[in-house]
Structure 1
Amino acid sequence: MKATQQLHDLGQSLWLDNITRTLLDDGTLARYIAEDSVTGLTSNPSIFDAAIGGGDAYDAGIHAKSLAGLSGEDLFMELALEDLRRAADLFKPVFDATHQVDGWVSMEVSPLLAADTAGTIAAADAIHAQAQRPNLFVKIPGTPEGIPAIEEAIFRGIPINVTLLFSCEQYLAAAEAYLRGIERRVAAGLDPQVASVASLFISRWDVAANPQLPAELHNTLGIAVGKQSYRAYRALLASPRWLKLAAAGARPQRLLWASTGTKDPNISDTLYVDALAAPDTVDTVPEKTLHAVADHGKPGAVLAPDGGDADTVLAAIAKAGVGIDALALKLQQDGAEAFVKSWKQLLQRIADKQAALAAKGKEPLAR
């Protein structure tokens, strides 16, 4: 049995961390669904930047939208949502069969809003309305300014994928925001079933920490933080606070492993996926990692609800001189800055394509 099927049978959702128009047009995404147990996907500015810049698949769409008077973020949003609506429709049978637990796609708010709570809420409202798909998450970063936006969006009934979480503490802040949003809905007599996932980034820990650590501790920090966060996740789901909401009809915010492609060529290309097998979680994987897991993945023992050896590993890493709390904050800040860079690059790429298409003799761009 393929490892992808093993993970699916265990109760872990495997989502693709990529989307391109070509994946949709040539049937590749449909094949991943049929053959590799892929039950959702995620996107971010870096993914769309690579997709739009990687060929001419978007040229016709860019030109048509230019003629309609669109440019900048408005044009990009239309392009992205065209792809995500198609992907959402492919996953709709999974969405229906799992009673809306699985089968999701994700669209991120502008990274330029990372420090703007009110702007993030307005953007989440707009994306949710424009998408017109029940199985589309709006991605909001779990930054200090993003946390109140997450609570408010959940209260408004917008499904949220909380992104850019690195530590257990950051995960718990996102989980608290979700709980508060659901509690407010219950108090207001609203339907408590608003879906959410909390995306904890794994591999970036090791990229940052390995140079400061002895060889025996290389590539252990990300998994240890994952185990620590899984313990917190399980404890939350067993808490009286959550059980009260569950009795009212609420559904858990699922813990999601993000950034699970390996960056170190000296380790297994399925290390993080194999190590983080756990029920009631999601794992998002790049295409390269998906192929590796389907070919030779070997999921290990299911994560222990008590965190296993997480505390021991984290203590050894701290003793070796890595300030874990400070590094978590830096990773979140660096991640936000990287998405801003990709966002600006993406918008410039679209503008350049508009200009190039006009120069090739296309009709003049609408002003």
Structure 2
Amino acid sequence: MNATAKPQEYDTSSPLYRTVSTTPTDYWNDSCSREELVYAIRNGAVGATTNPSIVLNVLKKEFANWKKTLLDIIAAHPSEAEDKIAWHLIEAIGLEGAAMLLPIFEREKGRKGRLSMQTSPTFYRDTQALVEQAVHFDGLAPNIQVKIPVTAAGVKAFEEATYRGVTINATVSFTVPQAIAVAEAVERGLRRREQEGKPVDHLFPACTIMVGRLDDWIKIAASHDGVLLTPGVADWAGVAAFKKAYGIYQARGYRTRLLSAAYRNHLHWSQFIGGDVILTIPYEWQKLFNTSSVEVKPRMQDPVAPHIIDELYTMVPDFRRAYDEDGMRIEEFDTFGATARTLRVFCEHYHELQGIVRDVMIPNPDKKH
């Protein structure tokens, strides 16, 4: 069983539990919310993740649980600006999730049980800042995995952070070229460590493909180009890119593991069952999957129907860029539509998060408290 534990600790009847207990596939909770993580672990989850949007949502849902922590942080750092206070809070929320996952991490000898903490979205152009923050996060707890965006600067950061002994998780990633660039950068970092006699067996890197966000972008790109796709075809774009990347990873023996994220439908779970991959599933989708009638069986090796690939490939140029191994150069990653949209959302949510901190640090006198 993937999630090694006493059977009575799990909901053994749930489809997600059956997914992880009968195949090599793992799943994580796509949030660091304590309530959601409790549910996920009960259903077989072996990890969790954060990003600016996730932390913002946790605060909105559970602010009463975190207000005292935030007030204590403010009091402990009387001269720090709101952005630094915000990062102390982000780390505190993440570290609680890491503590909940630590027993799994220890039992699985580091391969599982990690909390994936994301670097600042504002650093997407700054390799040095990304590496420095990655090293800082890595030192916070033994089971921290660090998320770095797959921008041109981020690709350089993957190699250096890996070389410095950080277990990375690539994020803001949607395409086959990005996934290959990440795996190659990680391999360079691992080889540098090996050449210097440094250990690598404690490193378990992952590369996310945000399959649902690629679907979103393909629909937008088609609309921009005045292209009418067959209903449902665009919902396979992310699945197609993920399966293409998985085949390449398996053939080349990359030591990075693929991870699917950004769920929009059950294909983003059901089509990846059986792969040696990680599925980062939002709580709401976990609940839907666990009450669904979708059969739990391996489908990772099932190809996407050729007519679907042909339609997407022929009619949407950005699908070709996402699907072809050489569809984009690294220098083009930052301006790919899905990348730009996601970076903007993460930056907006990061600034909104700072606004919540500001409202506690400087209460609005025009509002009744």
Q: Do these two structures clear the TM 0.5 threshold for a shared fold by scoring above it?
A: yes
User: 1: CA distance between counterparts of 2:102 and 2:199?
Assistant: 21
How do 1:253-264 residues align onto structure 2 when only pairs under 5 Å count?
253-260=256-263, 262=264
Indicate yes or no: 2:129 matched with 1:134: no
Q: Secondary structure at the match of 2:247?
A: helix
**In terms of mean alpha carbon deviation, does 331-340 or 202-211 score higher?**
202-211
Deviations 1:279-306 (A, max 9, x none): 32100011100111122143353311xx
**In terms of mean alpha carbon deviation, does 74-83 or 343-352 score higher?**
74-83
Indicate yes or no: 2:63 matched with 1:47: no
Letter in 2 for 1:284: T
Shift of 1:2: 2.1
In structure 2, relative to structure 1, the CA distance for the partners of 1:357 and 1:216 (3 Å cut) is: closer
Q: Which residue of 1 aligns with 2:166?
A: 158
Letter in 2 for 1:236: R
In structure 2, relative to structure 1, the CA distance for the partners of 1:219 and 1:31 (3 Å cut) is: closer
Letter in 1 for 2:50: S
User: 1: CA distance between counterparts of 2:368 and 2:176?
Assistant: 54
| Unaligned segments of structure 2, at least 5 residues | 1-12, 323-332
Q: Which residue of 2 aligns with 1:100?
A: 110
Percentage of matched positions with identical amino acids: 22
Q: Secondary structure at the match of 1:102?
A: coil
Q: Which residue of 2 aligns with 1:13?
A: 26
Q: Which residue of 1 aligns with 2:299?
A: 302
Indicate yes or no: 2:14 matched with 1:2: yes
Q: Secondary structure at the match of 1:56?
A: helix
Q: Which residue of 1 aligns with 2:327?
A: none
Q: Which residue of 2 aligns with 1:335?
A: 342
Q: Secondary structure at the match of 1:123?
A: helix
Q: Secondary structure at the match of 1:208?
A: helix
Letter in 1 for 2:183: A
In structure 2, relative to structure 1, the CA distance for the partners of 1:358 and 1:17 (3 Å cut) is: farther
Contact 1:227 1:310 (C-alpha < 8 Å) held by counterparts: no
Letter in 2 for 1:315: D
Contact 2:31 2:37 (C-alpha < 8 Å) held by counterparts: no
Letter in 2 for 1:170: Q
Indicate yes or no: 2:308 matched with 1:313: yes
Shift of 1:17: 0.5
**In terms of mean alpha carbon deviation, does 90-99 or 174-183 score higher?**
90-99
Shift of 1:326: 5.0
Letter in 2 for 1:293: F
Letter in 1 for 2:31: N
Contact 1:104 1:136 (C-alpha < 8 Å) held by counterparts: yes
Pick from 16, 38, 44 the counterpart of residue 37 of structure 1.
Answer: 44
Contact 1:224 1:309 (C-alpha < 8 Å) held by counterparts: yes
Letter in 2 for 1:324: F
Q: Which residue of 2 aligns with 1:272?
A: 268
Deviations 1:48-69 (A, max 9, x none): 1122234333221222211222
Contact 1:63 1:357 (C-alpha < 8 Å) held by counterparts: no
User: 1: CA distance between counterparts of 2:110 and 2:275?
Assistant: 17
Shift of 1:77: 2.2
Letter in 1 for 2:152: P
In structure 2, relative to structure 1, the CA distance for the partners of 1:40 and 1:335 (3 Å cut) is: same
Deviations 1:254-288 (A, max 9, x none): 1101112x1xxxxxx42311112133210001110
**In terms of mean alpha carbon deviation, does 295-304 or 160-169 score higher?**
295-304
Contact 2:239 2:267 (C-alpha < 8 Å) held by counterparts: no
Shift of 1:198: 0.4
In structure 2, relative to structure 1, the CA distance for the partners of 1:332 and 1:278 (3 Å cut) is: farther
User: 1: CA distance between counterparts of 2:306 and 2:119?
Assistant: 35
Contact 1:41 1:106 (C-alpha < 8 Å) held by counterparts: yes
Pick from 111, 114, 123 the counterpart of residue 113 of structure 1.
Answer: 123
Q: Secondary structure at the match of 2:303?
A: coil
Shift of 1:75: 1.6
Shift of 1:234: 1.0
Q: Which residue of 2 aligns with 1:125?
A: 135
Give the TM-score normalised by the residue count of structure 2: 0.83
Contact 2:104 2:113 (C-alpha < 8 Å) held by counterparts: yes
Q: Which residue of 2 aligns with 1:365?
A: none
